[in-house]
Amino acid sequence: MSQISIGVRVLVLVAMTGAKSVTFKDCATSPGKGAIKSVDIRPCTAEPCKLKRGTDITMVVIFVAGGNATKATSVVHGIIGGVPIPFPLPHPDACTGASPLPCPLSAGTQYTYTSTLSILQSYPT
């Protein structure tokens, strides 16, 4: 059973509105993992994105599958004090949830994955 992991690192700070294609680090550096083409964060108008606690953000990731896959998993890390901190997603299985990918995925095909992440009051600033 094949699986693709969609990894994005997002700098988490504190408040703005709009949408912005942001600079990202593609964590899938192994052959056959595919390639992330763009990452949009909403709301965000400038980098680093300043995210307000108690709100939701939406991430839109456009990527090309590096191989055929029956599963896809989404992983997000915030960089706080230079340390990557994992942030839980409500639906880490990218093939289910509010905006699922059309699994199985086909090698070389471009897909758009959308996920919403709550910026909890407990997150550091």
Structural domains in the chain (count) = 1
90 is in which domain, residue-wise? 3-118
- H or E segment at 46? none
- Beta-strand runs (E) in the chain: 3-10, 20-21, 35-42, 55-64, 71-80, 83-87, 110-119
Residuewise pLDDT in 10s, the chain (125 residues): 444 444 444 433 333 335 668 887 766 556 667 788 898 989 888 888 888 889 998 989 899 998 898 988 888 777 778 888 887 777 789 998 778 899 999 999 999 999 888 888 887 76
In-domain check, residue 123: no
pTM, to two decimals: 0.74
In-domain check, residue 45: yes
In-domain check, residue 125: no
In-domain check, residue 28: yes
In-domain check, residue 92: yes
In-domain check, residue 21: yes
CATH code of the domain in which 14 resides: 2.60.40.770
- Per the CB < 8 A criterion, the answer to whether 34 and 26 are in contact is no
In-domain check, residue 82: yes
- Per the CB < 8 A criterion, the answer to whether 44 and 22 are in contact is yes
- Per the CB < 8 A criterion, the answer to whether 54 and 121 are in contact is yes
**Of 121, 111, 113, which Cα lies nearest the Cα of 93?**
113
In-domain check, residue 124: no
